[in-house]
Amino acid sequence: LMCLEKQDLYNKFKGRVWAVSPSARSPSVESKYLDYLFEVEPAPPTLVVTRTEEILSINATYQLPHCMPPPDLKYEVDFWKEGIKNKTQFPATPRGQPVQIPLQPAISGHYCLRARTIYTFGDPKYSEFSKPTCFFLGAPGTSWAFLGLLPLLLPLLLVIAIGHVFWKSLTANPWFQRAKMPLALVWQVWACATDGEGF
């Protein structure tokens, strides 16, 4: 309705609807007058999150009627560690500008974000908060620390691999295999008969 031809959003307007079937038509129902720019209720924004090593950048996007002039929208972001009640609320930021959260070097754990829209045409109106977006933040240095230890571990891994190959070659060589012990020994006595002796 916002984008009907020659529709002026600065005027009040109302709508009329009725149900239609192939054989009948219901009485129409008319809405009260609507002043779109003053009576519209803002919806929560959709958040776009990007992360670098030192900064978490949040931007808000909105689904707006294509014919609507750029509205006076701002948004507020809440940021908190999962399981903790206290939330850090960042000041209202104009639409199109990112909220930047500096990340501490030792940050680690699951964190969450949510935001709400502030419509500032006339008296400010606040939307509900968006559903929380949660993600894991690990200290960027942890992966680099492991990579730093990798050159020290390579010689040890090489020695273990060579030792394994050497051991396998020894066990496959018949000269280095253990002799199999019999499970039981059977002694048989053989006697030879001599002249004059008999059995």
Pairwise CA distance, residues 132 & 79, whole Å = 9
Q: Give me the domains of the chain, ranges plus CATH numbers.
A: 1-39 (2.60.40.10), 41-140 (2.60.40.10)
pLDDT at residue 113 greater than cutoff 80 = yes
pTM confidence score: 0.59
What is the per-residue pLDDT for 103? 86
Distance CA 101, CA 167 (A): 55
Read off the pLDDT of residues 52-93 as tens digits, 9 standing for 90 and up: 888 999 999 988 877 777 778 999 999 999 888 899 999 999
Cβ atoms 80, 96 nearer than 8 A? no
Quick check: 187 pLDDT over 80? no
pLDDT at 9 over 80: no
40: exposed, middle or buried (C-beta count within 10 Å: 0-12, 13-18, 19+)? middle
DSSP 49-111: EEE-SSEEEEEEE----TTSPPP-EEEEEEEEETT----EEPPPEETTSPEEEEPPTT--EEE
pLDDT of residue 85: 87
